[in-house]
Structures are given as structure tokens and as C-alpha cells.
Amino acid sequence: MATEEPKRPWEQQLRDAATHLETDLRNVMKYINDEVVPEVRRNGSDALRAAAVELHKLAERMDDHARRTATAPPPRPKDAPRP
């Protein structure tokens, strides 16, 4: 069974656009696989170490804040009854 030619020009334009999109998608996937993935593999451990340092700093700030708020209770509102 032979395929019919599109009867409307927009159908052919749509087919052409789909073909171009498929080609572009293949090129993007090839670029990611050939360029991005190897770079991430080479430098991924450095990025994780840098993130770990920043997370460690954040944890220390959180601990410092928790210590400051635990040692000094919040001030009692002026209109609150005395215990």
C-alpha cells in the first residue's frame, strides 16, 4: 500500500517541521552524550565537594542559631500574665 502525498500544503510543512525537529533532537542528544556527560563525569566530584563544603557551613550556621535561641528564651509580651 503506497502512502499518499499530503493534499494540503500545511500537512507537508508539518511533516517537514517534524523531520527537522527529529534531526535537531538527535543532534542535541549527541551533544549531551559526547560533550556534557563526559565533562560532568570529570568534574562531578569537584562539584559535590564544593556543595558539601557549603552544606557544612549552612549546618554550622543552623546549629549556631539553634544554640542562640535555646539559651535565651524569647521575651515575654508585656500584657502576658506572670507565671
Across the chain, which has 83 residues, the per-10-residue mean pLDDT values are: 67 92 95 92 88 95 88 71 69
Measured distance CA(32)–CA(23) in Å, rounded:
14
In the chain, the amino acid numbered 9 is P
pTM for this model (two decimals): 0.46
Sorted by where each begins, the domain ranges of the chain are 18-69
Q: Identify the DSSP state of 1.
A: -
pLDDT at 52: 95
